[in-house]
Amino acid sequence: MTHIKNIKGHDYTLYERDTYPPAEAQERSKQFWDWMDTRRTVRDFSDKPVPKELIENLVMTASSAPSGAHKQPWTFCCISDAKIKSEIRKAAEKEEYDSYNGRMSERWLKDLQPLGTDWHKPFLEIAPWLIIVFKKAYELDAEGNKANNYYVNESVGLAAGFLLSAIHHAGLVALTHTPSPMNFLTKILKRPENERPFLLLPVGYPADEVYVPKLTRKPLEEVAVFYE
Ligand code: IYR
């Protein structure tokens, strides 16, 4: 039975969830960290299919993220159509070619060297799905009426984080790809004027043998300051 309470004219539902004794909470937090720490950006995908129903679950997990005034200002375009994927690859490689050959600074290119990236983006056709996260700068209904969204970048960034965690949880891998500029995605996917591309994620199984850059993550002391 759901418990509903009207507070100041608005319905609230009773929120109940599991909590854990301190030692168990400590253990759970460590296990979750260890498991999240096994997530890596992968650039080599298998073309093994991933069912649409699984992708739908990932999107619904992402869409459970908190957002400004609960506006959920996002659209997830999920593409398995080979023709659209190849159109996206062509357009992305064109922009990336220009970026790697003049638009990016020497310092930027040097920073990327350990990651081994270049303008070739074969994963855009090999991965079974591309999920393109669009942010909604504002809401637009069928009659063309506009309504505000709030903290759109923060909200969509959070949803993207939830999406990456859901992908990891399903045993799949992703690449956070940011072709730049990426307005070609608006055109190819025929998105309405209130939507702007935010992030492009190829999603699928990793290729049979994958090597990822040997990197370390910053220790706690470098990423946290405690005020006790
Ligand atoms: N957008 C380009 C370049 C690139 C930039 C950063 I910062 C990266 O961490 C990785 C790549 C590309 O996708 O190749």
The pLDDT of residue 1: 62
Three-state secondary structure readout of 109-142: HHHHHHHCCCCCCCHHHHCCEEEEEEEECEEECC
11 or 1: which leads in pLDDT: 11
DSSP for residue 69: G
The pLDDT of residue 143: 94
Write the pLDDT tens digit of every residue in 118-167: 999 999 999 999 999 999 999 999 999 999 999 999 999 999 999 999 99
Q: Whose CA is nearest to atom 9 of ligand 1?
A: 112
Three-state secondary structure readout of 2-43: CCEEEECCEEEECCCCCCCCHHHHHHHHHHHHHHHCCCCCCC
User: Letter for the amino acid at 219?
Assistant: P
Write the pLDDT tens digit of every residue in 180-212: 899 999 999 999 999 999 999 999 999 999 999
**Among the residues of 37-122, which ranges form H helices?**
52-62, 82-98, 106-112
Q: Is the ipTM of this complex over 0.85?
A: yes
The pLDDT of residue 2: 75
The Å distance, Cα 138 to ligand 1 centre, comes to 27
Ligand 1 lining (C-beta closer than 6 Å): 96, 112, 115, 117, 177-180
% of the chain at pLDDT higher than 90: 98
Q: Whose CA is nearest to atom 2 of ligand 1?
A: 179
